[in-house]
C-alpha cells in the first residue's frame, strides 16, 4: 500500500474556541457509467421515459432471471481506472450486498466488495491558489444503481419507478487525503473533468449521474483520525463544500463542549444549512456480503486492457502540460482551458491558423477574457458559441497585422458575437481600421494642442499629463488611431 | 462457531422474517447444527488452492452494449400487488 501521510498544513486549519482543528475528508463518488444498456440487462439507460419502461424482467428481479454482464460497462470502468493511474485487477468478483428497500427489487445490490476491478490510483488536484496536491484513490468498483422512490405523489403511499434499477455505477473511493471543503470541491471537479475526458461518465450532477458520499472527521493537528460521520448523497459541488463546512463545525462544537462523536450516517439539508442523522439506516449497515452465485469472477485479458490503454484520449494533466510547453501559457490559463475537453479543443482550433500557428498566449487571453466572459453573460458555453474559432482567429490576425487596435478588437468581437459575419469584411465595411496615416493623426493632434493651451502648459511641467492628450486624440479618431504612432507624434509636437 | 439467541434474532430481523421469542431456542440449535456440519470443511488444508468457481471450464459470458430489452411496463407490473400510473405503489417509506 502506498500510504502517504500529509503533514499538517496550518493554512487549512479551522480555529475553534479552544484551539485549532484539522478537518479530514474522504469521498465516495458514485458515477453513472456512460453506456446504452444496463450493467446486467439489455434495458436502456436513457434518462427519463415513462415509469418502469426502461426495465427488463432482470431489473425487476423476476424469479429465474439471470444477470449477464455488459462488456462495455467493464471497459468503461477499466478506462476510468487507467485514467486514474490505478492498478487494474485482472480478476475481480461480484458480491451481493443485502438490504431491503422498495426500490431494490432483488433485495440485494450486485456490487464488488473484497475484489474490486480497480485498485489504488492517484488524482492530482489543482487548487485555486495554484497549489497541486496528490489525492490517493483507494479503489473503484462496479455496482448496480437502485430504482427511484417518489414520496410526494400520495399521502399514504410511495411510488416506485425501476427505470434506473440496474444501471451501472462506478463507486470511486478516495483516501482520507483531503483537508478542507475547498480541496474536496477541487477533487470532485478534477475527477469529473477526467471522467468527461474519458467519456466514461457524463458528469451531469443535476441528473444525479455524479453524486458523492462525504466522510468527515476532525482532530487536533498531529493526532490520530477522529470518529467520522458519512454524509450521504450530496449532489452538487457547492453542496459538498457546504456540507463539509457545516459538519466540521458541528463536530468541533460537540468536542469542544466535552462530548464525543458517534459514527453515523447523516443527510445534508441545503435549505436549512444543517446535517442531520439518518437513524433508520443504522442497523441496515450489516450487509452480509457474499459472492454472487449467478456470476463467475470477472477475468480480463491483459491484451484487452492494453488495447483500452492505447486508445485512451489525452487527459487533462497531459493536455495542460502540453499547452504550457507548446504555447507558452501560464499554468493558470492552461488549467482554465483544459477544464473541459470542448474548451481545450476550441482553443486549439483558434491557435491553428491553417498551417501557421497563431500566438498561443494572445489566443488564450482572447478566448478566456473576451469569449468566456461574453458566453457567461449569455449563459452559454463553447459548444453553443455564436462565434467560431475561425472568426476569433481572424480577429487575432487583424490585431497581429496592426489593422485594428486591441481596443477596437473588443468592439469587433461584440459585432461578430451579436451579428455574425467575416471579421475582415466587417472591419472594411464599418471603417474600423486603425489609422496609421501619420498625416491624419498629426492633424488631430494639432487641433487638440491648438484648442488647449492651458493643458499644454501643464504637460510641460508634468509629463504624465500626456495620457490626457492620448485620450483626447483617441476619442477624436474614434479609437482608431495607432497608439504607438499617436504617442510618438504627441511627444514630438509637445517637445517632451 | 456457534450463534447465540441475540444473533438469531438479529439475522431473522435482517431477513425480515418474523420469529416469536419462544421459537428462538429451537432455531438457534438448528442453525448451530448446520454451522457445525459446515465446519468440518475447516479440517481440510486448502492453502494454495484457488477457489473453485465452476466445475466446468466456462468464462463469464458477456453481452454487447445494445438495448435489446425493456419497454414492457405491463409485464413488469403484472404481478404487482398494487400499482398506479405505471408505478409500483408501496406503503409510504420516508426518511
**Does A312 reach chain B within 8 Å, measured CB to CB?**
no
Asked which of A402, A430, A458 is the last residue of a domain, the reply is A430
Nearby residues of A227 by Cβ (< 8 Å), 6 or more positions away: A217, A260, A261, A262, A263
Would you call B67 and A102 a contact, using CB atoms and an 8 Å cutoff? no
Give me the pLDDT at residue A436, please.
Answer: 67
**CATH of residue A459:** 1.10.10.410
Same domain, A416 and A337: yes
Same domain, A479 and A408: no
A2 belongs to a structural domain: no
Same domain, A301 and A321: no
Per-block average pLDDT, block size 10, for chain A (496 residues)? Answer: 69 90 97 98 96 98 96 98 98 95 95 97 91 95 96 93 98 97 97 97 95 97 94 95 97 95 91 84 73 96 98 96 95 93 95 86 95 93 93 92 85 92 88 74 85 85 84 82 80 81
| A329 alpha carbon, distance to own chain's centre | 20
Q: Are strands A210-219 and A19-32 parallel, antiparallel or unpaired?
A: antiparallel
DSSP string, A420-435: ---HHHHHHHHT---B
A14 belongs to a structural domain: no
- For A431, counting Cβ atoms within 10 Å of its Cβ (0-12 exposed, 13-18 middle, 19+ buried), the class is exposed
- Cβ contact A30:A212 at 8 Å: yes
Same domain, A49 and A186: yes
Give me the pLDDT at residue A149, please.
Answer: 93
**Residues of B with CB below 8 A from A161's CB?**
86-88
Would you call B61 and A68 a contact, using CB atoms and an 8 Å cutoff? yes
Alpha carbons A381 and A375: distance in angstroms, whole number: 6
Q: Which three cell numbers stand for residue A43?
A: 434495458
Give the DSSP letter of residue A178. Answer: B
Asked which of A273, A308, A343 is the last residue of a domain, the reply is A308
pLDDT digits (tens, 9 = 90+) for B50-67: 888 888 889 999 999 999
Selected residues 106-165 of chain A with any CB under 8 Å from a CB in chain B: 149-151, 153-162
Give me the pLDDT at residue A473, please.
Answer: 84
- For B4, counting Cβ atoms within 10 Å of its Cβ (0-12 exposed, 13-18 middle, 19+ buried), the class is exposed
Give the ipTM of the model, two decimals please: 0.90
Asked which of A275, A308, A341 is the last residue of a domain, the reply is A308
Q: Which of A56, A101, A148, A278 should be substituted to probe chain B, the one whose Cβ sees the most B Cβ atoms within 10 Å?
A: A56
**Number of domains observed in the structure of chain A:** 3
Give me the pLDDT at residue A67, please.
Answer: 98
Can you give the residue range of the structural domain that contains A209? 19-308
Same domain, A365 and A483: no
Same domain, A192 and A234: yes
Give me the pLDDT at residue A304, please.
Answer: 98
A296 belongs to a structural domain: yes
A5 belongs to a structural domain: no
Would you call B60 and A280 a contact, using CB atoms and an 8 Å cutoff? no
Same domain, A154 and A255: yes
Would you call B14 and A267 a contact, using CB atoms and an 8 Å cutoff? no
Alpha carbons A470 and A492: distance in angstroms, whole number: 13
Would you call B87 and A154 a contact, using CB atoms and an 8 Å cutoff? no
Give me the pLDDT at residue A476, please.
Answer: 83
Same domain, A318 and A424: yes
- Shortest alpha-carbon distance between residue A210 and chain B (Å): 21
A243 belongs to a structural domain: yes
Same domain, A273 and A332: no
- Shortest alpha-carbon distance between residue A38 and chain B (Å): 8
**Residues of B with CB below 8 A from A297's CB?**
53, 60
**Residues of B with CB below 8 A from A56's CB?**
69-70, 72
Nearest chain B alpha carbon to A102: B90
- Shortest alpha-carbon distance between residue B15 and chain A (Å): 8
Q: What percent of chain B has pLDDT over 70?
A: 99
A247 belongs to a structural domain: yes
Alpha carbons A138 and A178: distance in angstroms, whole number: 13
A69 belongs to a structural domain: yes
Same domain, A415 and A446: no
Q: Which helix (H) or strand (E) holds A210?
A: strand A210-219
The list of chain B residues with pLDDT below 70 reads: 95
Beta bridge partner(s), residue A97: A109
Same domain, A362 and A455: no
Same domain, A159 and A224: yes
Amino acid at each position: 500500500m502506498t500510504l502517504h501521510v500529509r503533514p499538517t498544513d496550518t493554512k487549512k486549519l479551522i480555529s475553534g474556541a479552544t484551539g485549532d482543528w484539522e478537518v479530514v475528508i474522504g469521498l465516495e463518488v458514485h458515477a453513472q457509467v456512460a453506456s446504452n444498456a444496463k450493467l446486467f440487462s439489455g434495458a436502456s439507460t436513457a434518462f427519463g421515459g415513462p415509469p418502469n419502461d426502461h426495465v427488463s424482467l432482470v431489473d425487476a428481479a423476476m424469479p429465474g432471471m439471470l444477470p449477464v454482464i455488459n462488456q462495455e460497462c467493464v471497459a468503461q470502468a477499466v478506462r476510468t481506472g487507467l485514467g486514474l493511474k490505478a492498478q487494474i485487477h485482472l480478476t475481480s468478483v461480484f458480491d451481493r450486498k443485502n438490504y431491503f428497500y422498495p426500490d431494490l427489487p432483488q433485495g440485494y445490490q450486485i456490487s464488488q466488495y473484497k475484489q474490486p476491478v480497480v485498485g489504488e490510483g492517484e488524482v492530482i488536484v489543482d487548487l485555486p491558489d495554484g497549489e497541486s496536491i496528490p489525492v490517493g484513490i483507494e479503489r473503484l468498483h462496479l455496482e448496480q444503481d437502485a430504482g427511484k422512490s417518489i414520496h410526494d405523489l400520495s399521502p399514504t403511499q410511495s411510488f416506485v419507478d425501476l427505470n434506473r434499477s440496474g444501471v451501472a455505477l462506478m463507486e470511486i473511493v478516495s483516501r482520507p487525503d483531503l483537508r478542507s471543503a475547498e480541496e474536496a470541491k477541487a477533487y470532485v471537479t478534477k475527477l469529473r473533468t477526467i471522467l468527461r475526458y474519458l467519456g466514461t461518465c457524463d458528469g451531469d450532477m443535476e441528473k444525479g449521474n455524479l453524486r458523492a458520499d462525504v466522510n468527515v472527521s476532525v482532530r487536533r493537528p498531529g493526532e490520530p483520525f477522529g470518529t467520522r460521520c458519512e454524509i450521504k448523497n450530496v449532489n452538487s459541488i457547492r453542496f459538498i463544500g457546504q456540507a463539509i463546512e457545516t459538519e466540521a463545525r458541528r463536530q468541533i462544537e460537540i468536542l469542544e463542549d466535552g462530548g464525543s462523536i458517534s459514527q453515523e450516517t447523516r443527510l445534508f439539508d441545503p435549505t436549512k444549512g444543517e446535517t442531520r442523522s439518518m437513524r433508520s439506516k443504522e442497523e441496515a449497515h450489516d450487509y452480509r456480503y457474499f459472492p454472487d452465485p449467478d456470476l463467475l469472477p470477472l477475468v480480463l485479458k491483459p491484451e484487452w486492457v492494453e488495447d483500452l490503454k492505447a486508445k485512451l484520449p489525452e487527459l487533462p494533466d497531459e493536455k495542460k502540460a502540453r499547452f504550457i510547453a507548446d504555447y507558452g501559457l501560464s499554468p493558470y490559463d492552461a488549467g482554465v482551458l483544459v477544464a473541459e475537453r470542448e474548451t481545450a479543443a476550441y482553443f486549439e482550433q483558434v491557435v491553428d491558423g491553417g498551417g501557421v500557428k497563431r500566438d498561443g498566449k494572445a489566443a488564450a487571453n482572447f478566448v478566456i477574457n473576451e469569449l468566456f466572459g461574453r458566453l457567461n453573460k449569455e449563459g452559454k458555453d463553447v459548444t453553443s458559441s455564436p462565434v467560431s474559432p475561425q472568426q476569433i482567429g481572424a480577429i487575432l490576425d487583424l490585431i497581429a497585422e496592426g489593422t485594428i487596435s486591441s481596443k477596437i478588437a473588443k468592439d469587433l468581437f461584440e459585432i461578430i458575437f451579436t451579428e455574425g459575419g467575416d471579421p475582415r469584411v466587417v472591419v472594411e465595411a464599418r471603417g474600423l481600421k486603425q489609422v496609421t496615416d501619420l498625416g491624419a493623426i498629426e492633424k488631430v493632434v494639432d487641433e487638440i494642442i491648438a484648442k488647449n493651451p492651458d493643458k499644454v502648459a501643464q504637460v510641460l511641467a508634468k509629463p504624465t499629463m500626456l495620457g490626457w492628450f492620448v485620450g483626447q486624440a483617441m476619442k477624436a479618431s474614434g479609437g482608431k488611431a495607432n497608439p504607438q504612432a499617436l504617442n510618438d507624434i504627441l511627444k514630438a509636437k509637445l517637445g517632451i | 462457531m456457534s450463534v447465540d439467541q441475540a444473533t438469531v434474532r438479529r439475522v431473522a430481523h435482517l431477513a425480515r422474517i418474523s420469529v416469536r421469542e419462544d421459537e428462538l431456542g429451537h432455531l438457534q440449535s438448528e442453525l448451530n447444527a448446520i454451522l457445525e456440519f459446515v465446519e468440518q470443511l475447516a479440517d481440510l488444508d486448502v492453502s494454495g488452492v484457488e477457489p473453485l468457481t465452476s466445475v466446468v471450464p466456462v468464462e463469464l459470458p458477456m453481452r454487447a452494449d445494445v438495448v435489446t430489452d425493456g419497454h414492457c411496463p405491463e409485464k413488469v407490473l403484472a404481478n404487482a400487488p398494487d400499482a398506479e400510473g405505471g408505478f409500483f405503489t408501496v406503503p409510504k417509506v420516508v426518511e
